Amino acid sequence: MNSGIFPPRVALIGVTGYGAIYVKLLRERRLKGDFTLVAALVINRSLPAASEAARELESWGTRVHEDAESFFAQERGKIDLCLIPAGIAWHARLSVAALRAGMNVLVEKPLAGCLADVEAMRAAERETGRWIAVGFQDLYCNVARSLRAEVMSGALGAIRQVAGVGLWPRPLAYYERNDWAGRLRAHGTGVLDSPLNNAFAHFVALGLYFTSNRWAKGSDIQFDETELLRANEIESFDTAVVRASGGGVRYWFGYSHATRETQDPELVIEGARGRMRWVYDKGVEWQEAGKEPVRIPMPDIFAIRHEMLDAVIARLRSPLAWICDTAVAGLHTEFICKLHSSAAVREFPPELVTRGDIGSDGIGVVVEGLGQALLKAYAKRSSLASTGFEVAFRNYSEAR
């Protein structure tokens, strides 16, 4: 930390949307005394939720700014760590501005929505001598770090395959909640919003984190067969089955927001002498050949977020403390960018698409039979088309 001040001086950009999660995190940590929230940027204070959050922060003694220009000008040199839970389109420009104002950064995942933004962020790190940490929260979990060390030691043998699946139906409001949801570009830059770059990005990043030592960069990944599909009226895709390979590891990812069924994500790492199965919010099953399976509990999501904050605060104390930096997070962005270049986004036949009740979230777009077909493809690590799902036999319309 450049100032040598401890506890560190922290700032927050954004208090609504995912920013509300950060407000909750800071509220839980406020009395611990390991940092001081000295400033915040709230550009939408006219909204009731934002106004309420701003008043709460002010009651803590936090300086609240209402435009970015005054925030960066007045807080220059006064902040050690800036938390940026902003939309994907703003990750690079806000992170670069924060670095140039003398701040280190914790930006929400993903790192960015295009490679040009990644390079701009890395260039600003080199220019300023500050760093960017990325909020792939599961990677900061001590359990995840320990398991990766076991995988790297060869406890499961040579890793052969990574597979992940998840079905999280999303209501119509999900794609109406901001001006970049479901978009490929917004505000003059790439966002590539999709299940793999947003809701399920944590699990794709985990799969890469456990195996990316086998290949040097995202361009080393080859996509064998890619199915990018949409049922919602969006630019990007809401459903994908992705098969790829790199460094001798095969990858299979299947995720959707357009199913009636719900299945929380899981990730399986398969080696020559064992396997690991990570199930969201439940724990890990570790199985080495010839041994009884071991069940490893995981902290809940709120505890993991606290571990993430602990990690970035530790980095302020020591340059040797681990963070998910732009090198680690950049592999995910490279993967996503190459994924989009591997295939066009195509539409489900309209006769398969309905609007239906998806539970407590209300009404969403549903592709009938898709959930079962995706789970069948996952079991076989196959394409969606090979399951016999009706969409396989249709001529898709070209991406709009």
Judge whether residue 382 has pLDDT over 80.
Answer: yes
Write down the pLDDT at residue 394: 55
Give the H/E segment covering residue 40: strand 36-41
Q: Identify whether the C-beta of residue 145 lies closer than 8 Å to the C-beta of residue 133.
A: no
Return d(Cα 209, Cα 144) in angstroms, integer.
10
Name the architecture of domain 9-138: 3-Layer(aba) Sandwich (3.40)
Nearest CA to 105 among 24, 124, 29?
Answer: 124
Write down the pLDDT at residue 219: 77
Write down the pLDDT at residue 391: 62
Give me the residues paired with residue 62 across strands.
none
Q: Where are the alpha helices (DSSP H) in the chain?
A: 19-29, 48-59, 68-75, 91-100, 115-128, 142-152, 201-211, 301-317, 326-342, 370-380
CA angle 153, 157, 161 (to 5 degrees): 110
1: which 2 tokens? 């930390």
Mean pLDDT of the chain: 93
Write down the pLDDT at residue 1: 42
Judge whether residue 398 has pLDDT over 50.
Answer: no
Across the range 281-286, mean pLDDT stands at 94
pLDDT tens sequence across 162-202: 999 999 999 999 999 999 999 999 999 999 999 999 999 99
Task: Flag the least confident range among 30-39, 80-89, 126-135, 310-319.
Answer: 30-39
DSSP structure class, residue 398: P
pLDDT tens sequence across 237-246: 999 999 999 9
Judge whether residue 34 has pLDDT over 70.
Answer: yes
346: which 2 tokens? 């195509």
- Crossing angle of helices 301-317/19-29, nearest 10°? 70
Fold of the 141-309+321-393 domain? Dihydrodipicolinate Reductase; domain 2 (3.30.360)
Return d(Cα 109, Cα 114) in angstroms, integer.
13
Across the range 139-162, mean pLDDT stands at 95
- The domains spanning 9-138 and 141-309+321-393 adopt the same CATH topology: no
Cis omega (within 30 of 0) on the bond before 7?
yes
Across the range 302-330, mean pLDDT stands at 96
Across the range 281-302, mean pLDDT stands at 94
Write down the pLDDT at residue 209: 95
Polymer length of the chain: 400
pTM of the model: 0.94
Q: Backbone phi, then psi, for 92, in 5-degree steps?
A: -70, -50
Across the range 39-60, mean pLDDT stands at 96
DSSP string, 306-351: HHHHHHHHHHHH-TTS----HHHHHHHHHHHHHHHHHS-EEEPPGG
pLDDT tens sequence across 350-362: 989 999 889 888 8
Cα 114 to its chain centre, rounded Å, is 14
Judge whether residue 265 has pLDDT over 70.
Answer: yes
How sure is the predictor about 390, in pLDDT bands with cuts at 50, 70 and 90?
low
Nearest CA to 263 among 382, 375, 387?
Answer: 375
How sure is the predictor about 85, in pLDDT bands with cuts at 50, 70 and 90?
very high
How sure is the predictor about 216, in pLDDT bands with cuts at 50, 70 and 90?
confident
DSSP structure class, residue 141: -
% of the chain with per-residue pLDDT over 70:
96
Q: Backbone phi, then psi, for 213, in 5-degree steps?
A: -65, -15
